[in-house]
Structure formats: structure tokens, C-alpha cells
Amino acid sequence: MPHTKHECQFCLVECMDFRIQETVDRLAKSLGLKNGNFDRISIPGGAGSLGQLIEDLHLSHKLHNACNMILTVHEDCGAGKTRADLEQAIRDARQIFPDCRIDGYFIYLDGQWDEVEPKK
């Protein structure tokens, strides 16, 4: 059976923390993403653990043509990741995936989020 390329165009990286799942779902919806039309990568520390995510991001990009990557980190992260880690992850991802759009969001436990653009 020939391999069919499945495309989703978006990949969202989140922390596994149960406290932010509803907020991440609302963020995804606000960005026009629905379950089933984007790759979701969930690991402790979210995008703040970019070193651990590179292989997964490459797979999403290669297999599903995910050329829009949404990186998130949340406050009070048990893995110790911070807004500064998210800013660094955005910079690094933009170098690794220069043909992709990379956006970042810092998530608060009260259900809000901020779009993050790293300082130059």
C-alpha cells in the first residue's frame, strides 16, 4: 500500500501539566485549530524543553508539512521552565526551521495567555 502524505500544517507544543489543558485548548481554538487538524506535542516543560523536542518537530514538519509551530510555556512550571526559556526556544526554532512560522505564547494558570516575541 503506498504511503499517503497527511498534512496538518500546524504543530502545537505544550507542557503535560493538567492545569493548563483547558487554556491550551482555548488558545488552539482562538488560533483556528481544531482537534484533528494539528499535531500536538506534550512534554514536561513544553517548548522550554526545546532540546528534547527537536526530533518531534522535525517529524511533524517532515511527515505532516507542519510549517506553523506554536510554542508554549506556562507559569509555575514544575519542570522549571520560564518565559525566558520560551523566548530562547522561539529564537532557536526560528534558526532551525527558517521556512516555518514560529509563534510563542506564555500561559497563565488563571486561563489567560500572552503572545511572546523574544527580545533581540
For residue range 59-97, list pLDDT tens digits in order: 998 888 889 999 999 999 999 999 999 999 999 999 999
Q: Are strands 113-116 and 101-107 parallel, antiparallel or unpaired?
A: antiparallel
Confidence of residue 1 (pLDDT cuts 50, 70, 90): very low
Within a domain: 33: yes
Query: Looking at the domain assignment, is residue 7 inside a domain?
Result: no
Q: Which residues pair with 12 in a beta bridge?
A: 40, 70
Distant-in-sequence, close-in-space partners of 36: CB < 8 Å, separation ≥ 6: none
CATH number for the domain spanning 37: value is 3.40.1050.10
Q: How far apart, in whole angstroms, are the C-alpha atoms of residue 5 and residue 113?
A: 33
Mean of pLDDT values over 41-50: 94
For the chain, percent of residues with pLDDT exceeding 90: 73
- pLDDT of 36 reads 73
Nearest by Cα to 8 from 50, 60, 72: 60
Give me the domain span that covers residue 25. Answer: 15-116
- C-alpha cell read off for 49: 524543553
Domains in the chain, number: 1
